[in-house]
Amino acid sequence: MFDIAYADGAVDGPTRPEVAVGTRVTLLVTSDVDDDVYLHGYNVKAAVGLDTAAVIEFLADEPGTYELELLDADVSLLEIAVR
């Protein structure tokens, strides 16, 4: 599990974690703004906000690098590398 926090315009958490192909990954995102968190390449989206943490779970079954972003804010939270 990777924890990512967005507050006061700054991202806190891993910036480029790596996982092995076949790993089940959980991303826990908290934010001080209401937005949607989106994992590109896996097409997974979840709402996040002051009262709601976003949990994104996926099976890392394709090698590559995938961006997790706050959609409305257009902020990259991390790039996860699947190797």
Query: How does pLDDT run across 50-81, given as a tens digit for each residue?
Result: 989 999 999 999 999 999 999 999 999 999 99
What is the pTM (predicted TM-score) of this model?
0.91
Query: For the segment 20-31, what is each residue's pLDDT rounded down to a tens digit?
Result: 999 999 999 999
* pLDDT value for 76: 97
* pLDDT value for 24: 97
* Residue ranges of domains in the chain: 2-82
According to CATH, the superfamily of the domain at 2-82 is: Cupredoxins -  blue copper proteins (2.60.40.420)
Beta strands in the chain, from DSSP E residues, in sequence order: 2-7, 10-12, 18-19, 23-31, 35-39, 44-48, 54-60, 64-70, 75-82
